[in-house]
Structure 1
Amino acid sequence: MISVNELSAGELAALLHFHAEAGVEWLLEEEAVDRFAEFEAMKAARRSAATSPQATESRESSSRPAAQPTQRNAPSPERTAQRPQPSIPDGEAVQQARLAAESARSLAELKTAIEAFNGCNLKHSARSTIFASGDVASGIMVIGSAPSADDDREGQPFSGRPGQLLDKMLAAIGLQRDTILLTQVIPWRPPGNRIASTAEMDICRPFIERQIALAEPKAILVLGNFAARVFFGENDTIHGLRGHWREIAVANRVVPAIATLHPQDLLTAPINKRLAWNDLLAFQAKLAAL
């Protein structure tokens, strides 16, 4: 077993990055555990137990007819309550999400409705419900694809390194995150940062559309491939969807929107920063015109 002390800084960073990409977020042991030794010890303990007098008596007892269950053997209400509840069919979950979203008359009410909603399986694996943050009065809305591990841990959209890069991108065109509205298409992080399924997006769509309707933005900056496909209804990549002004129609309201690369994409491929800069300049020009 290789000790962490034997790794260089670069090797350790690569290992941590590999674990993060695989969905590992927390280390549950303070020190490394030899699972192979544990397994061998467990097998030895089982062999020893199988030859003991108690084990022989137990096998003889198991061959006798089983007694009829009594009331004491019935599952307690507490155990029954802990059993997983059957999942809601996707169609019914979409209807429940639409009803919950439409009943909200403010962003605060919508946040409460989303936090109380249990019809999306993504919520059961996420730590936090990620909702819009910032200043709704600005009329400027930035929408990302889905919460990252940092977002889920911090409970805020655009946390960690991608959030720091987004702050720099916004500052380059004279904006700050606390003076605009930041949110995500999906309010819960998909496990392992996978792409949300079509059914999951259909369930979450009423919530993001209601956010837009209640916020009434003058312009929207869409970040990332997934979010761009959701709003523009196309299957092209972000390189084909970015840089062109389109319209998002929500609740009898049409909002101009432009897509660009997500900060995480730019961290992975910094060469594309020039493309994002052109999109940011177009967004800045639209805001000035409005």
Structure 2
Amino acid sequence: MQTHDAAQRQLESLLEFYQASGFDCFLEEEAIDRFALSAELLAAQVAARQAGAHSPGIAGSGPTSKPTQSGRSAIPGAGQGTMQTQGVDTTAAKSSAPNAPVAGGAFADAVIPDRDAINSAHEVARSAKTLDELQASLAAFTGCNLRLTAKNLVFSDGNPKARVMLIGEAPGRDDDIKGLPFVGPSGPVLDKMLEAIGLDRSSVYIANVVPWRPPGNRTPTPQEAEICKPFIVRQIELVAPEYLVFLGAASTKSLLGVQDGIRRMRGRWMTYSSGQRQVPCLATYHPDYLLNTPIEKRLSWRDFLVLRDKLKSVVDL
């Protein structure tokens, strides 16, 4: 009996550890051996290189092909880490088509987040003429690996004809489940902030820089944010809001291209260039941050008063 109780406590401790680490679901029935997958991919790359030496019709292969500049190739796994191998030329193994998939079990549809993926995102985003087209194009876009672990695309919420557009960083767990931004614990905080200045979700438009939830609510990588950026840029152009509100440092830095901290940027009007338009924008703290640091709510309250005064002064004119 004591042995059973000890095992139960160990299991509960393990689950608590997983929850605290951000793991909230299992992606596979069995654990995946990433080392074995990496070894298989390396073997495939070597075989492709050897086969290319006898097939002059394959681009980038043959007796005269050169190793990569760094002499190393990165083998993507399921997470952010990579395994480095020495002296392997991956030119023949990589497809010339943009967004070429990377071999690897459950992540067989993963792509290399390179310049081709970013260029593809720009082309797809620019081709959208309406918000509906943009959402459909984003749902079909295969250039961002976050789509492989997310349950839903989180495109937007609110009124696309609103005067104010609010932009966060990325969806959370509840957002991912429901397919809407800011519906988790931070949602009521944002709703109360809006209500305090006479607004609600029907009178604003809400989106994120990254429309898919990163696993475990981790911060999106710079590559993931850069690949997704063309879509939020096009979304802003199509909504054409009078004012932008950046919720948190991540969305502010991504869209304004600045490196200042949120404490230096919040509460003052800046300018965002959207096509031929110059849009007044305001930065404030992210609602998630306010949940953990409630003393800063007073500063966000001041920021929203600044927004209220701007909206009221334009109406009065």
Normalized against structure 1, the TM-score is what?
0.73
- Residue 128 of structure 2 corresponds to residue 108 of structure 1: no
Question: How far apart, CA to CA, are the structure 1 residues paired with 2:306 and 2:265?
Answer: 14
CA contact (8 A) 1:135 1:180 kept: yes
Highest Rg: 1 or 2? 1
Supply the distance in 1 between the matched residues of 2:160 and 2:106 (Cα, whole angstroms): 40
CA contact (8 A) 2:166 2:247 kept: yes
- Return the letter of the residue paired with 2:185: R
Look up the equivalent residue of 2:197 and give its one-letter code.
I
Aligned to 1:136: 160
State the alpha-carbon separation in 1 of the partners of residues 131 and 110 from structure 2.
30
CA 1:288 to 1:93, structure 2 compared with 1: closer, same or farther past 3 Å? same
CA contact (8 A) 1:101 1:113 kept: yes
Q: Distance in 1 between matches of 2:266 and 2:127?
A: 33
In the TM superposition, residue 225 of structure 1 has moved relative to its aligned partner by 1.5
Higher helix proportion: 1
CA distance in 2, matches of 1:136, 1:115: 18
1:196 pairs with 2:196? no
Question: Shift in Å at residue 144 of structure 1?
Answer: 0.7
Matched, 1:243 2:267: yes
Structure 1: which amino acid aligns with 2:149? Answer: S
Amino acid across the alignment from 1:139: R
**Does 2:230 match 1:177?**
no
CA deviation profile, 1:42-74 (whole Å, cap 9, x unmatched): xxxxxxxxxxxxxxxxxxxxxxxxxxxxxxxxx
Q: Describe the shift of the 1:103–1:225 C-alpha distance in structure 2 as closer, same or farther (beyond 3 A).
A: same
Which structure has the higher relative contact order (CA within 8 Å, separation 6+)?
1
Task: Specify the alignment match of 2:21 in structure 1.
Answer: 22
User: 1:104 & 1:270 partners in 2: Cα distance?
Assistant: 40
1:102-132 per-residue CA deviation (whole Å, 9 max, x = no partner) reads 1111101100000000101111111111102
Q: Distance in 2 between matches of 1:172 and 1:258?
A: 17
Deviates more, 1:99-108 or 1:191-200: 191-200
The answer on 1:279 being equivalent to 2:303 is: yes
Matched-pair contact (CA < 8 Å) for 2:270–2:280:
yes
Q: Secondary structure at the match of 2:268?
A: coil
Matches for 1:126-165 after TM superposition, within 5 Å: 126-165=150-189
Moved more, 269-278 or 19-28: 19-28
State the AA in 1 paired with 2:231: F
Q: CA deviation at 1:19?
A: 4.3
Question: Once the two structures are aligned, what percentage of the paired residues are identical?
Answer: 41
Q: Does 1:166 align with 2:165?
A: no
Q: Structure 1 residue 235: deviation in Å?
A: 2.0
CA distance 1:86–1:146, shift in 2 (3 Å): closer
Q: Within 2, Cα distance between the matches of 1:130 and 1:106?
A: 17
One-letter amino acid of the structure 2 residue matched with residue 22 of structure 1: S
Q: Structure 2 CA distance, aligned partners of 1:209 and 1:83?
A: 28
- The answer on whether the counterparts of 1:266 and 1:272 sit within 8 Å (CA) in structure 2 is yes
What residue is the counterpart of 2:254 in the other structure? 230
| Secondary structure of the structure 2 residue equivalent to 1:159 | coil
- On the 8 A contact 1:222/1:228 being kept in 2, the answer is yes
Q: In the superposition, relative to structure 1, how do residues 123 and 168 fare at CA in structure 2: closer, same or farther (>3 Å)? A: same
SS at structure 1 position matched to 2:161 = helix
Gaps of 5+ in 1: 29-80
SS of aligned partner of 2:272: strand
Q: What letter matches 1:176 in structure 2?
A: D
**TM-fit CA distance, 1:150:** 1.3
Give the CA RMSD over aligned residues: 2.5
When residues 82 and 181 of structure 1 are mapped into structure 2, their CA distance, relative to the original with a 3 A threshold, is closer
How far residue 231 of structure 1 moved from its aligned partner, in angstroms, is 2.0
Q: How many pairs are equivalent?
A: 230
Please give the TM-score of this superposition, normalised by the length of structure 2: 0.67
* Structure 2 unaligned residues grouped into runs of 5+: 1-5, 28-104
1:217/1:166 CA distance change after superposition, 3 Å: same
8 Å contact from structure 2 (residues 169, 209) kept in 1: yes
Tell me which stretches of 4 or more aligned residues in structure 1 moved more than 3 Å.
1-4, 18-21
Q: How far is 1:139 from its partner? A: 1.8
Q: Provide closer, same or farther for how the CA distance between residues 204 and 21 of structure 1 changes in structure 2, counting only shifts above 3 A.
A: farther
Amino acid at match of 2:23: V
**1:126, 1:214 → 2: CA distance?**
25
